[in-house]
Amino acid sequence: MILLLGAGAGTASDLTYTSRHGHAGIDRALYLPKSWTGNEERRAQAAVPDETGFATKPQLAQQMIERALDAKAPAAWAAGDEVYGDNPKLRAALEARQLGYVLAVSRTHHIPTRPGQAVRAGVATTH
């Protein structure tokens, strides 16, 4: 009962449902960098719909997770790499939906240690 966030082949972000019975891809979103979404000629050549705008991978992940939860996917928590873990808006959205998460963070990510104090993850792991 885990929602796994990850990058698939090419430029797709995937949402995979995992349980003790197995796993299956349940959603996929096309990730287009700003160099694509801002280039009308390139978009037309690739048949990218006009309504497809730029969204970060964490924004795409949040949209996919919200669709899964709205469809009553029985997920207990989500997991993903530092692309997702470093994004405070995604973490806040997961907390707002009361979905537990295990998300990696980069070495430069600041981890609160006490009220008003934080340490970089890379420093915290060396002590």
Q: What is the CATH number of the domain that holds 34?
A: 3.30.420
pTM summary value: 0.82
Distance CA 90, CA 19 (A): 22
Residues of the chain with pLDDT under 70: 1-10, 125-127
Domain membership of residue 104 as a residue range: 2-124
Partners of 78 in beta bridges: 3, 101
| Residue-level length of the chain | 127
**pLDDT tens-digit readout, 9-24:** 347 788 999 989 999 9
Q: Number of folded domains in the chain?
A: 1
Going through the chain in order, the beta strands assigned E by DSSP cover 2-7, 12-19, 22-30, 77-80, 100-103, 110-114, 117-120
Helices 88-96 and 57-70 pack at an angle, to 10 degrees, of: 10
